[in-house]
Chains A and B, each alone.
Chain A
């Protein structure tokens, strides 16, 4: 059995050479919409991310779809434009670099994409595809030499004998073989950093371990540094030295892999760990956070995770939408008749769905009074007393014929150092302040 090589973990962070330094990185995609295609805000795919990456390290970017992990990985290589902050590669600023200045650097910064079927040109044979970077960067102009270099690289990734694969087309290869070819193409120009975006998630389970082993072998032989983008915590646990847990464009927790798994600090990290199905644990009941990752175009106030967080407190950023969601959950439990009766009490409760409203004034529906809304809220509160939502409610009162609900002011938790005993661990949560 092959075991995890004991490499970068043994080095202390201080002696190690910093390869990439990311500071307050932002990648915002502008939204267009409404009348005259005017500016309608932005999706903050990556919103203020900072970390550094040492040479020889494997950093995992872990999160759900929509967490910004893929965008972050792509931005490191300049495949997405940074809209703010900086990315330094060996001290050289990459953010804002022109494509023509970035291109020579791509030799050193390579990417392996998720879908091996889509990352190879179906009408280009393997030898040409794998040799392409050499051609593009003008490294090996002689076609014969280039072919020899391609053959050597194919052997290195396990496509052996290389002669058998050189003239084949992607459609002749299995998924695992295609991913090997993609990796051959990524390493042929001699990169330092490889960003691998879910490189094994599309592969069959019996092939995943083989490809992961290949990543480890290549790292050892070629002295590579990896950024491993994934939603699969099990492979991240095995593969990564450090893990950054991402949620809605932010890093919410970052630290050494063992620490993240043994002692998760952020409630989201805890939730993710609890959700992993494990063949060694049969039928364990789990407490899952409700709902799904929110819309990045209109993120929640305060901490983005607060609407799903089981341990949220008053200052986490409660708002009108959270009351709307609570009522929906109440109606799901109580049934359609209760919902119809209850919704009649409100006029047009846009304030229950619009983002960012901390002081609600709910207008009663025709023939109803504000007091009826208050008593509805009291009833709901009785049934859902355990819900963290109620910790954020400051006042509920009837005034001027309307029902007013005010929430406690919330703040956005920033990533801060929570422990530095063996290595720095940072988390962004009010509970670790």
Chain B
């Protein structure tokens, strides 16, 4: 257990360390019959060693696409633009072969559904042998075994289960195996895409604890994609809130949850049913069609604080005194006209217009 003072000093060290991975103005488009869909539209963030960045938002906000896009794991037909800097190289536009070399030993991915991501015909041992042999062909057999067992031990999977098949494990154990498999090569950067969604409360809490230990013990930089705000509050250092392909607010997780600045973050937090919920609140409407996003701020049709300027011009990203980055017209009165700050008359949204 770390004491408060040492936690503080490591946080400082983390902030001064240079980022493991930096995304700059990252864009991802998909082709569709309705025209190009900008699933991720100009996203910028950094992840430092040992830091966990939580990526939250509603379904369809682009958070999973962003996670895959960073690792170059997009389906054919997706276009990527911008920059993802990792170890001095730009991953965007890197030849597929070179990128594949990085995936595994440098860049890891933990999937949502451990049930479907492990090969049912392969023993746990074979999964590890395959992974380790691909990236370290020189490793002798006994070393492969000992490294695999070590990784599994870290996840609480006993060595006696090494020769078992995936179906012999529970969902929680399969997710631990998946995490061990992603970590056995000690990647510096890992994306975890909804790692606990399919799991029960208690098992979910166990996995979150494992992820928290991970950044403490291995200095792994982690991007945790989730729609569960409670998990972000618990397991993340920083949080980025996504809406319709944009990051609308990002900053220290405690700060963002205690003092959400962007109206979307505020609404999202209010509409989440938590133990403190005494009344139901919800955001009217549904996220926009990304083939034809609204002009101006993408949240303005649903925003309770929308002003006239919000429907006309996209808001700038501003650095707030708290250190959070916020993409909204509200905190920048000097950049707008008095008329622009008049409340926007919004159309009535029907109850059933929802995701």
Interface residues of A (CB under 8 A from B): 1-4, 64-65, 158-160, 165, 174-177, 180, 203-210, 212-213, 216, 231-235, 237-238, 261, 271-272, 274-284, 286, 288-289, 292-293, 328, 331-332, 335-336, 339
Complex: how many Å from CA A293 to CA B121? 25
Whether B58 pairs with A286 at a CB distance below 8 angstroms is: no
A268, chain B: closest CB distance, angstroms:
9
Among B300-344, those with CB < 8 Å from A are none
Please name all residues of chain A whose beta carbon is closer than 8 Å to the beta carbon of B171 when the two chains form the complex: 65
Whether B201 pairs with A174 at a CB distance below 8 angstroms is: no
Having A233-B275, A275-B205, A278-B274, one finds 6 other A-B pairs with CB under 8 Å, namely A1-B281, A206-B355, A278-B233, A288-B205, A288-B206, A336-B159
Whether B233 pairs with A277 at a CB distance below 8 angstroms is: yes
Among B166-216, those with CB < 8 Å from A are 170-173, 200-206, 208-209
Please name all residues of chain A whose beta carbon is closer than 8 Å to the beta carbon of B274 when the two chains form the complex: 234, 278-280
B286 near A: Cβ within 8 Å? yes
Complex: how many Å from CA A132 to CA B312? 47
Complex: how many Å from CA A65 to CA B231? 20
Please name all residues of chain B whose beta carbon is closer than 8 Å to the beta carbon of A159 when the two chains form the complex: 352
Q: Report 30 cross-chain contacts, Cβ distance below 8 Å, ordered by A residue.
A: A4-B278, A64-B200, A65-B171, A165-B352, A174-B286, A177-B354, A204-B227, A205-B273, A207-B355, A209-B273, A209-B280, A234-B273, A237-B275, A238-B273, A238-B278, A274-B205, A276-B275, A277-B205, A277-B208, A277-B233, A278-B274, A282-B233, A282-B234, A283-B254, A286-B205, A288-B205, A331-B158, A332-B153, A332-B158, A336-B159
Among A64, A212, A286, the residue within 8 A (CB) of B273 is A212
Please name all residues of chain B whose beta carbon is closer than 8 Å to the beta carbon of A165 when the two chains form the complex: 352
Binds A, one of B80-88, B103-111, B264-272: B264-272
Please name all residues of chain B whose beta carbon is closer than 8 Å to the beta carbon of A203 when the two chains form the complex: 355
- Quick one: closest A residue to B268, CB to CB? A206
Among B153, B205, B233, the residue within 8 A (CB) of A283 is B233
Whether A328 pairs with B160 at a CB distance below 8 angstroms is: yes
B279 near A: Cβ within 8 Å? yes
B230 near A: Cβ within 8 Å? yes
Please name all residues of chain B whose beta carbon is closer than 8 Å to the beta carbon of A3 when the two chains form the complex: 278-279
Central interface residue in A3, A272, A282, by most chain B CB within 10 Å:
A282
Among A204, A210, A212, A278, the residue within 8 A (CB) of B59 is A204
Please name all residues of chain A whose beta carbon is closer than 8 Å to the beta carbon of B352 when the two chains form the complex: 158-160, 165, 176-177, 180
Among B227-249, those with CB < 8 Å from A are 227-235
B218 near A: Cβ within 8 Å? no
Complex: how many Å from CA A160 to CA B352? 7
B142, chain A: closest CB distance, angstroms:
11
Using known A-B contacts A174-B286, A210-B282, A282-B254, determine if residue A275 contacts B204 with beta carbons closer than 8 Å: yes
Complex: how many Å from CA A198 to CA B205? 20
Please name all residues of chain B whose beta carbon is closer than 8 Å to the beta carbon of A205 when the two chains form the complex: 58, 227-229, 268, 271-273
Complex: how many Å from CA A335 to CA B281? 50
- Quick one: closest B residue to A1, CB to CB? B279
Please name all residues of chain B whose beta carbon is closer than 8 Å to the beta carbon of A216 when the two chains form the complex: 280
Complex: how many Å from CA A283 to CA B58? 23
Interface pairs A-B: 10 shortest CB-CB: A277-B230, A275-B205, A64-B200, A176-B354, A158-B351, A209-B282, A279-B229, A328-B158, A3-B279, A1-B279
B137 near A: Cβ within 8 Å? no
B283 near A: Cβ within 8 Å? yes
A331, chain B: closest CB distance, angstroms:
6
B16 near A: Cβ within 8 Å? no
Interface residues of B (CB under 8 A from A): 58-59, 146, 149-150, 153, 156, 158-160, 170-173, 200-206, 208-209, 227-235, 253-254, 257-258, 267-269, 271-283, 286, 350-352, 354-355
- Quick one: closest A residue to B237, CB to CB? A283
- Quick one: closest B residue to A213, CB to CB? B280
B335, chain A: closest CB distance, angstroms:
29
Using known A-B contacts A180-B352, A237-B275, determine if residue A278 contacts B230 with beta carbons closer than 8 Å: yes
Using known A-B contacts A158-B352, A275-B205, determine if residue A238 contacts B269 with beta carbons closer than 8 Å: no
- Quick one: closest B residue to A214, CB to CB? B351
- Quick one: closest A residue to B7, CB to CB? A283
Complex: how many Å from CA A431 to CA B149? 39
Using known A-B contacts A275-B202, A275-B205, A277-B233, determine if residue A336 contacts B149 with beta carbons closer than 8 Å: yes
- Quick one: closest B residue to A280, CB to CB? B276
Please name all residues of chain A whose beta carbon is closer than 8 Å to the beta carbon of B201 when the two chains form the complex: 64, 231-233, 272, 275-276
Complex: how many Å from CA A56 to CA B158? 49
Whether A277 pairs with B271 at a CB distance below 8 angstroms is: no
Central interface residue in B272, B273, B280, B283, by most chain A CB within 10 Å:
B280
Among B158, B204, B271, B351, the residue within 8 A (CB) of A209 is B271
Whether B153 pairs with A335 at a CB distance below 8 angstroms is: yes
Please name all residues of chain B whose beta carbon is closer than 8 Å to the beta carbon of A176 when the two chains form the complex: 352, 354-355
Among B158, B172, B208, B354, the residue within 8 A (CB) of A207 is B354
Whether A4 pairs with B350 at a CB distance below 8 angstroms is: no
Please name all residues of chain A whose beta carbon is closer than 8 Å to the beta carbon of B156 when the two chains form the complex: 332
Central interface residue in A3, A272, A288, by most chain B CB within 10 Å:
A288
Please name all residues of chain A whose beta carbon is closer than 8 Å to the beta carbon of B253 when the two chains form the complex: 282
Complex: how many Å from CA A193 to CA B272? 27
Whether B172 pairs with A292 at a CB distance below 8 angstroms is: yes
Please name all residues of chain A whose beta carbon is closer than 8 Å to the beta carbon of B258 when the two chains form the complex: 282
Complex: how many Å from CA A158 to CA B232? 32
Among A206, A233, A336, the residue within 8 A (CB) of B283 is A206
Complex: how many Å from CA A132 to CA B211? 48
Please name all residues of chain B whose beta carbon is closer than 8 Å to the beta carbon of A289 when the two chains form the complex: 202
Using known A-B contacts A206-B283, A213-B282, A234-B275, determine if residue A281 contacts B354 with beta carbons closer than 8 Å: no
Please name all residues of chain B whose beta carbon is closer than 8 Å to the beta carbon of A237 when the two chains form the complex: 275, 277
Using known A-B contacts A207-B354, A279-B257, determine if residue A336 contacts B229 with beta carbons closer than 8 Å: no
A380, chain B: closest CB distance, angstroms:
14
Please name all residues of chain B whose beta carbon is closer than 8 Å to the beta carbon of A160 when the two chains form the complex: 350-352
Whether A261 pairs with B275 at a CB distance below 8 angstroms is: yes
Please name all residues of chain B whose beta carbon is closer than 8 Å to the beta carbon of A204 when the two chains form the complex: 58-59, 227, 355
A205, chain B: closest CB distance, angstroms:
6
Among A64, A158, A281, A332, the residue within 8 A (CB) of B202 is A64
Please name all residues of chain B whose beta carbon is closer than 8 Å to the beta carbon of A271 when the two chains form the complex: 202
- Quick one: closest B residue to A3, CB to CB? B279
B1, chain A: closest CB distance, angstroms:
8
Whether A272 pairs with B202 at a CB distance below 8 angstroms is: yes
Please name all residues of chain A whose beta carbon is closer than 8 Å to the beta carbon of B146 when the two chains form the complex: 336
Please name all residues of chain B whose beta carbon is closer than 8 Å to the beta carbon of A328 when the two chains form the complex: 158, 160
Using known A-B contacts A2-B279, A275-B204, A335-B153, determine if residue A210 contacts B159 with beta carbons closer than 8 Å: no
B214, chain A: closest CB distance, angstroms:
15
Please name all residues of chain B whose beta carbon is closer than 8 Å to the beta carbon of A64 when the two chains form the complex: 200-203
Complex: how many Å from CA A175 to CA B59? 11
Complex: how many Å from CA A3 to CA B280? 7
B26, chain A: closest CB distance, angstroms:
24
